[in-house]
Chains A and B, each alone.
Chain A
Amino acid sequence: MRYVPTASTASMATMMLVAARLINPQREKKKMTDRIIFVCILILTGVYFWATSKIPTLEIGDPLGPKAFPRLLGIGLLIAAAMLLAEMIKARKSASADVAPTEAPDRSTYKIVAGVVVATGIYFALFEPLGYAISTTLFLLVMTSYFHKGHMLTNVLTSVLYGFVSYYAFTKWLGVNLPRGILPF
């Protein structure tokens, strides 16, 4: 049985990008980001302690068992949270020389990265059904025609050549296993 977390992974990735956008508003960028990281550490610590407590234990031979080290890491997370808090307080004290935002993050920038992530996700979803050569060629065609506009011939040639030559080279010469998909060879 093979677990393919297509939908959940894609949605997780998108959510993370949305979060990245939310924690990067133009003003108070740094302060806000650190606050959100702080809250995330606390949530993660809680979840990790809970998950650790769920590990079943058979106390034979090993005096510590599989839970001890993860518990130590949980404590480490709390230390990291405390350190971050200290850094935030320190930053607030010296806030007079407020660091000017080096680059105003543009919303469309995140849209473009989200688009690339979704395109890559679709590429992976088609990877086994269509096979490596065809799905890779299609993916490269889409990406180059967006990011290297106006060079149709170069883009088509690169995509097709790379897709098929690398398939042949890796499967036949280097013995790497790549999905054949709908191709007969």
Chain B
Amino acid sequence: METLNHILNGFAVSVMPINLWYTFLGVFLGTIIGVLPGIGPSAGIALLIPVTFGMNPTSALIMMCGIYYGTKYGGSTTAILIRTPGEAASVMTSIDGYEMAKKGRAGAALAVSAIGSFIAGTLGVIGLTLFAVPLSSMALKFGPAEYFTLMLFAMTAVSTLTGKSPAKGLLATLLGLMIATIGIDLQSGQARFTMGVPEFQDGVGFVVVVVGLFALAEVFRGLEDIYNGTGAKAMKITGKLWLTKEEWLRSIGPIWRGGVIGFIIGVLPGAGGTIASIMSYTTEKRLSKHPEEFGHGAIEGVAGPEAANNSDTAGAMVPLLTLGIPGGGATAVLMGAFIMYGIQPGPLLFQNRPDLVWGLINSMYIGNVMLLILNLPLIGIFVQLLKIPSGILYPLIIAISVIGAYAINGSMTDLYLILVFGVIGYVFDKVDIPVAPLVLSLVLGGMMEQSFRQAMTISGGNPKIFFGSAITITLVVMSVISILLPFILPMLKKYKEDGKDE
């Protein structure tokens, strides 16, 4: 009953004019960021943190979350019209969506992405509403040992599931944790790894790392593409922005299934929107009566993956809000934003600030309605953005990043750091080291060390505490499995195949 009251109060918070305005601003910026190649949700949110400083945290967080789920809507537009995903998770849409556009059905492809995104996005928020209370009350019983092992599992899962090589994923995770150890140790007051730079005593700011790794590195890659002449031109929107009855009947199944797949993948750490949309695509291809159409403009191949990557964002909010542990790169950046506003996401937030949590969750219902309007009747306006020459767009992104990085502390060190991290991000991309695990572990690093030391203090220095309860044992076992899985799976497969040969 109390919860129901909180939820209803949350609606009152989210329909306050100021919060409606920030919901709109968030999803509007999100659509723009999604449409524009070269800047994704992580960089977009990070750049806004310094600018929105001093705002009411509820409104600011409503806006940042709006950017996060708004990018998924915008990303499909670019995927359909230029075959480049505006956002990584739209990669599957660029296959059949672009083929549909080539056949003069761009309007239908855009319509099914927007409608599918809306249905699945709303489905995801309903799931978030239902799961939030039971999960957060369970998490209230977690002690430092449980939290440490939970973070361990989140990090190992992200390490092995993002990118091509688990070893490189683990390396990225450790680099993030190492960067997190730079600065004054809060428990002993000792400066660690500051290399004699006074600015490093406060640690390396996560906004700086995110802007460098996501915005600048992406700009370097984009400018390289311009130089190599591999830019693509946008197709015109052809056909009505609506579906025929047959197309509608073919899409509704994939939308529901994609929505469920996306939500489940979103709740679990590691996998994320890209894997959710790939899974939805392969599911639809397997279920389809005409799988040969996939890759040549099958509407199911647009509806399913787009639905999946939108309910994924709502699913990913579940562990972030209820446990205070993000399961991927973009939610890690959101968590960083929470912390910079002095708000610690997690189970206690549901008790202490129900207005904020439920105001935020309920704003997502409203945001999805706004996104449907922005991305269906008004999509033509956003398509105009694709006409901005990338030779102008990319230099502008550098200039915008500069404002974001400098505004935090007014420090030149931060500016030079975004350049260093920009180069690191560019080089890492070339050698297949994923950057999402680095950002996740950078955000969680401080908490992870703290819970590790608290647990060890409780146990008097005995590491047995990490095997002390059913929860910790399960999480440790799951962490070990997620590290070993990439090695075990091929072996099992080989064993099976060998068996068949005989």
Contact = CB atoms under 8 A, between A and B. Distances in A.
Contacts of B391: 144, 147-149
Interface stretch (B81-89, B233-241, B344-352, B454-462): B454-462
A155 B392 contact: yes
Nearest to B399: A136
A184 interface: no
Given A19-B427, A20-B427, A64 B167 contact: no
Contacts of B457: 62-64
Nearest to A14: B423
A147 B226 contact: yes
Contacts of B430: 20, 24, 105
A109 B226 CA distance: 10
Contact of B407 (A6, A120, A128, A177): A177
A79 B170 contact: yes
B46 interface: no
B394 interface: yes
Interface stretch (B138-146, B185-193, B262-270, B310-318): B185-193
Interface in B463-502: 483, 487, 490
Contacts of B410: 177
A28 interface: no
Contacts of B178: 48, 70, 73
A179 to B, nearest CB: 8
Contact of B427 (A2, A16, A79, A128): A16
A1 B412 CA distance: 12
A73 B174 contact: yes
Contact of B426 (A4, A84, A113): A113
Consensus secondary structure, chain B interface: helix
Interface string A16-27: 110110011000
B402 A127 contact: yes
Contacts, number: 205
A69 B181 contact: yes
B134 interface: no
A79 B159 CA distance: 13
B423 A17 contact: yes
Given A37-B433, A147-B391, A162-B396, A73 B177 contact: yes
B419 A62 contact: no
A3 B419 contact: no
A150 to B, nearest CB: 10
Contact of A62 (B50, B177, B188, B390): B188
A113 B216 CA distance: 11
Contact of A13 (B181, B223, B419): B419
A140 B395 contact: yes
A162 B171 CA distance: 39
Interface in A94-149: 105-106, 108-109, 112-113, 116-117, 120-121, 123-124, 127-128, 132, 136, 139-140, 143-144, 147-149
B228 A64 contact: no
Nearest to B416: A9
Contacts of B426: 20, 113
Q: Most A CB atoms within 10 A — which of B168, B197, B487?
A: B168
A115 B295 CA distance: 39
Given A69-B452, A112-B224, A5 B171 contact: no
Interface in A1-49: 1-6, 9, 12-13, 16-17, 19-20, 23-24, 33, 37, 41, 48
A178 to B, nearest CB: 7
Given A17-B427, A66-B187, A84-B167, A170 B403 contact: yes
A66 to B, nearest CB: 4
Given A3-B197, A70-B181, A136-B402, A55 B192 contact: yes
7 contacts: A20-B426, A37-B433, A63-B461, A83-B167, A124-B412, A143-B394, A147-B395
Which 8 A-B residue pairs are closest in the complex by CB-CB distance? A148-B391, A147-B391, A143-B395, A83-B167, A84-B167, A66-B185, A80-B170, A9-B416
Interface of A: 1-6, 9, 12-13, 16-17, 19-20, 23-24, 33, 37, 41, 48, 51, 55-58, 62-66, 68-70, 72-73, 76-77, 79-81, 83-84, 86-87, 90, 105-106, 108-109, 112-113, 116-117, 120-121, 123-124, 127-128, 132, 136, 139-140, 143-144, 147-149, 151, 154-155, 158, 162-163, 166, 170, 174-178
Given A13-B420, A83-B483, 12 more contacts: A5-B416, A23-B431, A62-B453, A69-B449, A84-B167, A87-B165, A116-B220, A128-B412, A144-B392, A147-B223, A147-B392, A151-B389
